[in-house]
Amino acid sequence: MTLLQLFLSFLQIGAFSFGGGYAAVPLIQGQIVNQHGWLTMSEFTDLITISQMTPGPIAVNAATFVGIKIAGIPGALVATLGCILPSCVIVTLIARLYLKYRNLALLQGVLGSLRPAVVSMIASAGISILISAFWGADAVIAFATTNWSMIVIFLLCLVLLLKCKLDPILVMVLAGVINLVLSVIRV
């Protein structure tokens, strides 16, 4: 039953995560944290961080990670298959239709109307992760519970990415090193 639940949960994520990895984050959270309780919000935040740092799409990495945690290697295979199956089917169908009808105004209108929804899903995921990083998964947003070192690291990373145009991988490594140094200093 667990393998079936993993497959069906990640099948839903794979089928409805239009817009790529970040758009899938709220769907993944809804399935694995809210609905099934397979991960806590803190573990989910760690999962997103690990999924971002490893090669491959966030949803596929999340499926593999959650599958292994819940049911070992069979769970990883089933969850990953559930996650990628809808994409394989949908992309094959869309590619055929797009090549045939790409100049149709209706198709261009539908594609254009999906963009705001995708942006809102990405923003929602980002805000959830920021709240968890700055105030903890279960903490109330308050000045007293704010993790100021995380805010400083976030702002530094933002400047390095937007103004200095540093490579995102280098920025992630730098953020990890800064947090490690701060942790050692606090001890």
**Within 10 Å of residue 167's Cβ, how many Cβ atoms?**
11
Q: Are residues 50 and 13 in the same domain?
A: yes
Q: What is the mean pLDDT of residues 163-168?
A: 94
Domain residue limits at 55: 2-139
Q: Residue 187 pLDDT more than 70?
A: no
Q: Both 151 and 135 in a single domain? A: no
pLDDT in tens, 13-28: 998 887 677 778 889 9
> pLDDT tens, 77-110?
999 999 999 989 988 998 898 888 878 888 788 8
37 in the same domain as 7 = yes
Q: Are residues 43 and 100 both part of a single domain?
A: yes
pLDDT band at 62 (very low <50, low <70, confident <90, very high): very high
In Å, the largest CA–CA distance within the chain is 63
Range in 52-66, 129-143, 149-163 with the lowest mean pLDDT: 129-143
Q: What share of the chain is helix, strand, coil (3-state, %, to 5)?
A: 85, 0, 15
Judge whether 58 and 51 are in contact, CB under 8 Å. yes
